[in-house]
Amino acid sequence: MTKIIQNLYKYLFQDKKFYQNLYKIALPIIIQNFIASSLNMVDTMMIGRVGEIQIAAVGIANQYFFLFNLLLIGICSGCGIFISQFWGKRDIVNIKKVLGMGMIAGAVLATIFTVIALYIPNQIINIFNTDPKVISEGVKYLKIVCISYIFTAITFNFGFASRCIENAILPMIVSSFALLFNTFFNYVFIFGNFGSKAMGVEGAALATLLARIIEASLLVGYIYFSKGVLAAKCSEMFSLSKDFIKKVLDTVIPVVLNEGCWGLGFVVYSVAYGRIGMQAMAAVQICNTVQNVFMVFIFGMSNASVVMIGNQIGAGHEDQAKIYAKRFSLLACLVGICLASILAISAPFILSFFNISDTVYHSALMILYINAGILLIRVFNCLLIVGILRAGGDAKRALFIEAFTMWCIGVPLAFLGAFYFKLPVHYVVALVTVEELFKFILGIPRLLSNKWIRNITENM
């Protein structure tokens, strides 16, 4: 037994170059995501001081942004697969072309979501909750915050591309500043400080809009001022042949569908939770915010795995890519055990910071314990689908695993629990976690088969 542990330790930790690259890429992403999630928690706490109706309204309005955000991540992640493999070859010309495709797709997506939010905000909020007060507050928030979507698209494209060329520090620094501005603006506009009137949920939306404008301006401004790899001219970004577009879309579309499928499913879950009641929605919103803080580590590792494994495949080092994939998988399991333990122990302490009723507190506490129980498997699934399979260009299999488990298992169980059995919200959440078990069962054989490795930049 001791020898097995020693061999496992050597396999995991003997490669210094692996960890140097991991720290270089993952650590800035983890820090960026941790700051973002922590400040989102602060946002929730701040708007929670106004009232539970406002928490539910902002949480529901953000479900619409959540869907946009995931589709945008799909576009940027899909493009990132190519950028990572092109960076392994140091093919700067094609990196700029892929960046251009991402910018076009992101701008179109942002425009569509913004126009819909401006013209039918009531109908969007009504999907999740029928309480007139929640709808009124949600509409106020959505009509302002949707203007920020175009700036989010710009930031995401340049930020993801920076990570894929192993410059994760830049988007981390820029986003950190922007998110600090967001918290300050929340303090000013939500509560009416420094001479501003108290705007409530409208103040929270205005703070987000201003922070997004600052974030996009700082990131793009620095890239072009420093004349880095991504400082592309319009002619370099948009001189795209039909064959090039087709090859990129063949991989990007499954990634977008993957994110959209998962995001839409998550929105459908919110519909089920919202119909249980306003307090149920508030509990879920709080727990989602808390869980996001704990997931930042694995999202950082997943993003790092896309870059590191993708670089190896692009450079033609497929055997090394296989070793990296297995090492990342084992590390994900270790991280999952640690995070699950911390979440279970700290759940009551975390919830003590929220000004909520006893009913919401009890539901939220049960949900956090359930999340802790499934966290190890959830962390591994995230690393596999968002990281390894995408890095290898195996986007279609990742889409199948995600879509099948969510829509054939998770969503039906959520609606059975909420509408048919009329269970408390924490029991419905427990039913939904069953999908993670099936995702794990489907993912393991694909990882071990090594069929996920594809050099998608070959002959481009």
Cβ neighbors of 92 (< 8 A, separation 6 or more) are 229
At 216 the pLDDT is: 94
C-beta atoms surrounding 298 within 10 Å: 26
Which domain covers residue 301, as residue numbers? 2-449
| Assigned domain for 351 exists | yes
At 66 the pLDDT is: 79
Measure CA 35 to chain center: 14
Give CA–CA dist 80/168, Å, rounded: 13
Instruction: Answer whether 363's CB lies under 8 Å from 279's CB.
Output: yes
| Assigned domain for 456 exists | no
C-beta atoms surrounding 380 within 10 Å: 24
Give CA–CA dist 423/169, Å, rounded: 45
| Assigned domain for 457 exists | no
- As given in the structure block, the two tokens for residue 85 are 């493999």
> At 354, phi and psi to the nearest 5?
-95, 135
C-beta atoms surrounding 366 within 10 Å: 19
Per the structure, how many domains does the chain have?
A: 1
pTM above 0.75, yes or no: yes
What does the H/E/C string look like for the chain?
A: CHHHHHHHHHHHHCCHHHHHHHHHHHHHHHHHHHHHHHHHHHHHHHHHCCCHHHHHHHHHHHHHHHHHHHHHHHHHHHHHHHHHHHHHHCCHHHHHHHHHHHHHHHHHHHHHHHHHHHHCHHHHHHHHCCCHHHHHHHHHHHHHHHHHHHHHHHHHHHHHHHHHCCCCHHHHHHHHHHHHHHHHHHHHHHHCCCCCCCCCHHHHHHHHHHHHHHHHHHHHHHHHHCCCCCCCCHHHHHCCCHHHHHHHHHHHHHHHHHHHHHHHHHHHHHHHHHHHCHHHHHHHHHHHHHHHHHHHHHHHHHHHHHHHHHHHHHCCCHHHHHHHHHHHHHHHHHHHHHHHHHHHHHHHHHHCCCCCCHHHHHHHHHHHHHHHHHHHHHHHHHHHHHHHHHHCCCHHHHHHHHHHHHHHHHHHHHHHHHHHCCCCHHHHHHHHCHHHHHHHHHHHHHHHHCCCCCCCCCCC
**Per-residue pLDDT tens digits of the chain, which is 460 residues long:** 566 666 666 666 777 888 888 888 888 888 877 766 665 666 667 777 777 778 777 877 887 887 888 889 889 988 998 998 899 888 899 999 999 999 999 999 999 999 999 998 888 888 777 778 888 888 898 999 899 999 999 999 999 999 889 888 999 899 888 888 988 998 899 888 888 888 888 888 899 899 999 999 999 999 999 988 998 888 888 888 888 989 889 988 998 888 888 878 887 888 888 888 888 888 988 898 888 878 888 888 898 898 899 888 988 889 999 999 999 999 999 999 999 999 999 999 999 888 788 899 999 999 999 999 999 999 999 999 989 998 888 989 999 999 999 999 999 999 999 888 889 999 999 999 999 999 999 999 999 999 999 888 876 6
Using CA atoms in the order 187, 189, 192, 198, what is the torsion angle rounded to 10 degrees?
-130
Cβ neighbors of 194 (< 8 A, separation 6 or more) are 188
| Assigned domain for 303 exists | yes
| Assigned domain for 459 exists | no
At 99 the pLDDT is: 94
| Assigned domain for 455 exists | no
> Tokens 């996009």 identify what position?
216
Give CA–CA dist 62/325, Å, rounded: 34
Residue type, 181: F
Residue/partner pairs of 9-15 with CB below 8 Å, 24 or more apart = 11/327, 11/330, 12/327, 12/330, 12/331, 15/327
At 56 the pLDDT is: 79
| Assigned domain for 244 exists | yes
At 199 the pLDDT is: 85
